[in-house]
Structure 1
Amino acid sequence: MSSELTKDQEATLEQFRSRLAEQDLLRDGDTIGSDDFTLLRFLRARQFDVKAATTMWANCLQWRKTVQGVGIDELYKQMDPYDFPERREVFEYWPMWFHKTDKAGRPLSIQHYGGVNMPELYKLITPERFMQYIIVTAESIPREILPAASRAAGRQVEGQYLVVDLKGFSLGQFWQMKNVVRESFQIMQDYFPELMYKFIIINAPVSFTYIWSFVKLWLAKETLAKIDILGADYQNVLLKDIDRENLPVVLGGTCECEDVGGCKWCRAPR
């Protein structure tokens, strides 16, 4: 159990576990997980309100059973988010990937919104299949990414460090992708709560003030509290949290790894 919990929070965690068990909402073998870390994510998302967290958990279980008509486990069997036939092409038009870790061992997730091109993307992959990619990538975080990071760190790693690069991002791109972004945020907040440690937006253009007036309406206050919006002078902020050798050159680090999704694929938008 987390040493950061107060006695009251520890008691609430046990109450939550008992409530889920009583309502047959906690079963060994369910891929949502039944460990303290997973339960605490739902409690923290609802400010340790057991009733609200139970409702959130029940809704999540229902979504996991029914998403895209087949459920999350079947979707995860159908698509490996890091190795599927269209992976390289999809990366060209919506660059997002995991790249090493921050100083605390949290997985570093990078997205280049400036490189997004929805019309070209949808020539390669259907909107439904692309959303499957978004969903199974989200599922991989608690299922694979965080467990691997925790094993490497020798302790529970409790979230990802997300960097969204807006270099070259335009208002036109925002209108193309806004529905996907909104749905993605909703999925993460409702069904994968408290998986983000920090959310850094870099290279925010002047037009982002207008864009942000829309985006912030889609976000829970817990998510908003983790967001830092920066312009072009962001390197020192990132380097406080991320070792220079773990940060791609294009973001001010020294890493030039060449794996798919690595620094070879991390380049300034054309």
Structure 2
Amino acid sequence: MSPIQDKLAAEEECRRTDEEDRWCKIALESLTDSQREKFAADPLDVLMIVRGFWGEQDRKKAICDAITMIADWRDKVGFYKFFDTHIPDDKSFHAWWPEKMYGHDKWGHFIQGVRAGEVDTDSLMALSDDALESLQGQKMSAYQIYKHEWMKQHGQQRYKHTLCVDLTNMSMNMLRGKKRQVLQKIFHIGSTYYPESMWKIYLVNSPLIFRAIWAIIKPWLHPITLSKIQIIGSAKEAIKKMNDEGIPIEAIPDWMGGKHPGVSTYDYISEIIERRRGFRVL
């Protein structure tokens, strides 16, 4: 177990400092009154942006540009109404790009799992850019809610999670024509509008063809995201690596040889919507 990971987890858990508080106020000042009110309702939202762009050379410009861009995007896609009701085509989207939520590591980061062989890029092409933005945004927001609920239960601040991708059956066909644009759009939404969300990324069961695929995908990702990625040849190797990095076998996806069956992300989103409907009725 790396002491560096313990240090990073401790920094993540740390409530915002006076210096960070000053930068959060600077960030909020760059927004419209309406945007500022919505962002200020969740202080962690602003803190994640401040921490995500802390190391930039022109910190003020990077932080203010980022929060303005994110706030404008939220207005465009109806971010604050994501869970008022089901978004059109959400069931199809999750059937074509199914994901599950698995267990937690020793610090409390949950595992998001996706299997490349289950992704239907041909069908995803039927969705418009606007639909993809809303559907992928809703999914990423559901993961934020999941982390918030964990924090309330455990009394610890954890706003990052781990992504585990099964590369079995991944092929160059997934990146041909418009399919490449679809994948690029989905990756872009997560890395651009949900900064500071990733703890680690494991790419598992890497086939030989993946070198060529990786050469295409790599430029789409932010350098900070790239630094968190580990490409691992087999599930057996991945389990050992994940165990060494604080993830118990009980939390690892069953398709890897772990013991966690996972919870459907679509089912969790449906649960959030039903809960909120219940609150509105009451």
2:150 matches 1:149: yes
Deviation at 1:203, TM superposition (A): 0.9
Deviation at 1:33, TM superposition (A): 4.5
Q: Percent identity?
A: 21
Amino acid in structure 2 at the alignment position of 1:204: S
2:101 matches 1:98: yes
Structure with the larger helix share: 2
Distance 1:66 1:213 in 2: 32
**Paired residues of 1:12 and 1:50 also in contact (CA < 8 A):** no
Deviation at 1:103, TM superposition (A): 2.4
Distance 1:195 1:42 in 2: 10
Over the aligned positions, Cα root-mean-square deviation in angstroms equals: 3.0
Deviation at 1:115, TM superposition (A): 1.5
Give 2:196's aligned residue. Answer: 194
Deviation at 1:216, TM superposition (A): 1.1
Q: TM-score scaled to structure 2, two decimals?
A: 0.75
Give 1:174's aligned residue. Answer: 175
Distance 1:32 1:109, change over 3 A: farther
SS at match of 1:97: strand
Distance 2:11 2:258 in 1: 32
Residues 116-165 of structure 1: per-residue CA shift (max 9 Å, x gap): 12234567x666545432110112233x1110121233201120110011
**Paired residues of 2:136 and 2:189 also in contact (CA < 8 A):** no
Distance 1:65 1:127, change over 3 A: closer
Q: 2:208 aligns with which of 206, 209, 234?
A: 206
**Paired residues of 2:254 and 2:260 also in contact (CA < 8 A):** yes
Deviation at 1:194, TM superposition (A): 0.5
Distance 1:131 1:62 in 2: 13
Q: 1:108 aligns with which of 104, 108, 111?
A: 111
Give 1:268's aligned residue. Answer: none
Deviation at 1:18, TM superposition (A): 2.7
Distance 1:33 1:185, change over 3 A: farther
Q: 2:243 aligns with which of 225, 236, 239?
A: 239
**Paired residues of 2:239 and 2:256 also in contact (CA < 8 A):** yes
Q: How many residues are paired up?
A: 247
Deviation at 1:75, TM superposition (A): 3.9
Q: 2:81 aligns with which of 70, 74, 81?
A: 74
Distance 1:121 1:153, change over 3 A: same
Give 1:64's aligned residue. Answer: 74
Q: TM-score scaled to structure 1, two decimals?
A: 0.78
Residues 223-267 of structure 1: per-residue CA shift (max 9 Å, x gap): 11111111113221123332212223221212346x6469xxxxx
Distance 1:203 1:3 in 2: 31
Deviation at 1:114, TM superposition (A): 1.8
Deviation at 1:189, TM superposition (A): 2.3
Runs (5+) with no aligned partner, structure 2: 1-8, 267-282
Distance 2:30 2:124 in 1: 43
Distance 1:196 1:33, change over 3 A: farther
Give 2:257's aligned residue. Answer: 252
SS at match of 2:203: strand
Give 1:266's aligned residue. Answer: none
